[in-house]
Amino acid sequence: MKKFKLNSIRFKILIVFSVVFLLLLILLLSLNKVFFTQFYIDSNHQNMQRAAALYAQRYGSINNQQLLDETRRETGADLSLWNSEFLPIRQGGMARPNLSPEKVRSLLKEAAVNAGNPEYFDIIQNPIDDNQRLLYIHVLKNGDILVMTKAMGILDEANNMFSAFMLRASAAVYVIGCVLIFIVSGFFSRPVVRMGNITRKMANLDFDEKLKVKSNDEVGELMTSINLMADELSGTIGHLNDVNRKLERELSKEKSLEKMRRRFVSDVSHELKNPISVILGYADGLVRHMPKTEKEREEYCGIIADEAKRMNQLVKDLLDLSAYESGTFTIEKTQFDVNTLIEDALERLEHLYENKKLHIEYDEETRHEIYADRLRSGQVIINLLGNAFKYVNENGIIRICMEQQDKKFRLEIANTGPLLGDKELDLIWNSFYQVDTENHGNGLGLAIVKSIAELHKGSCRAYVQDGFNCFEVTW
């Protein structure tokens, strides 16, 4: 059983009901005390007036005694009929009016009661029982006088009895009302308690539970608003979590990229240091005339030339990538046969695969013309094929696929060999990234491919399928 809280809505409603009920009871008893007597007098006065008017209309048409008895039953008053000489003719009721002819004459004279002003009403003291009585005198058209008197002694008793009854009845109504208020307030407070529980869960970022809306009133509208707010907060927080996860991934990539950049600077320094050292060493040997024969001098010069070419390629790649990523580089588009670029690239890169006994799948019969920057497109093909030849396994397969897709051209170069992992597929297009450091390279080739594709408003992606590492470029 739930503990009844003194600060709960049910308790507050019960307190408000008790205070209002008590104030209404006090107001009712006060009104009864102040106004009941006057209300009783006015009501009897009006009742006597109506009865007297009806008596006057019927007077003479039926028996006077019968008419008096009917009027007495209607008003509850004692009645007597007097003639113009102020002598009693008939009476109706158990008690006499106890009025002398002189008393009646003086009252009529004092009130100027006559045919023009045919009635008189007052409260008089009964000399027999010392109780007050209501007195109503009505002068009929023939001069006879109808006198009505009604005791007021029961008024105080009735008033006291009414007050006592009201107190007892109010106590019973109060107890029943408290029980009903307690039950009904529970019905109304239950949704509020439910809303409190749900909002506390929302404060802990739990938006799974929803409020069941069963009414169209203000509480129902509030519950609907809370459900809508929960949906909005859930969506917003979900979006923020997605953004946060993306940001964490970006930060992780940034950290990885920074590590790669540092490694690249180290590698570039090493790559430049070695050929420079070699060039300086062999150049110094030539200066000192260390080679004795022409063949030895040619060998020295060849080594110096190879190392210079290696340095030149590294610097060239760095300059190209910097230009592509600067946002100011402009491509020059022309119409050309892309198959020609592929065949030229295969011929230029033959030295990379001639000893691996590879199988190259390439449909040279189907020709494709594209509208793009010929020089940069050739660079894309060289870099993709160079990457494939570098990592293909012995007796492996190189697959070259091309197709037109609406207004776009798709090129895919795939190779067998060690398959890339998910992390590597995600990072492969980043600058300075290398899957391994055993194969000769600087990690810029695929980054340059990505930059050229983006300059053509295209895209690139890497994926693994059917035992192939696939590199796709669309532009």
pLDDT digits (tens, 9 = 90+) for 160-200: 777 788 778 878 887 887 788 777 777 777 777 777 777 78
Closest by CA position to 45, among listed 107, 115, 138, 134: 134
Segment among 41-45, 85-89, 164-168, 256-260 with least mean pLDDT? 256-260
More confident site: 308 or 98: 308
pLDDT on residue 434: 72
Residue 283 carries which side chain, given as an amino acid letter? A
**Per-residue pLDDT for 366 more than 70?**
yes
Sheet of 359-362, strands arranged across: 359-362, 397-405, 408-415, 468-474, 459-465
Give the model's pLDDT for residue 306: 75
Would the pLDDT of 1 be above 50? no
CB 467 within 8 A of CB 416: yes
Nearest to 156 by CA among 26, 44, 32: 32
Please report the pLDDT score of residue 415 as a whole number.
94
User: Are the beta carbons of 125 and 105 closer than 8 angstroms?
Assistant: no
Q: How many CA atoms lie less than 13 Å away from 238 in the CB half-sphere?
A: 9
The residue written with tokens 């006090």 in the block is: 26
Q: What is the mean pLDDT of residues 146-165?
A: 77
- With a CB cutoff of 8 Å and minimum separation 6, the contacts of 243 are none
Give the predicted TM-score (pTM) of the model. Answer: 0.41
* Owner of token pair 């790559």: 271
The string of DSSP codes covering 344-364 is HHHHHTHHHHTTTT-EEEE--
94 band by pLDDT with thresholds 50, 70 and 90: very low
Q: Which domains does the chain have, with CATH numbers?
A: 10-158 (3.30.450.20), 330-474 (3.30.565.10)
Q: Which pairing describes strands 333-337 and 369-373: parallel, antiparallel, or unpaired?
A: antiparallel
In the chain, % of residues over pLDDT 90: 12
Strands 397-405 and 359-362: parallel
57-79 burial, b at 16+ Cβ within 10 Å, e below that, comes to eebeeeebeebbebbbeebebbb
SS3 365: coil
pLDDT tens-digit series, residues 50-60: 998 888 888 87
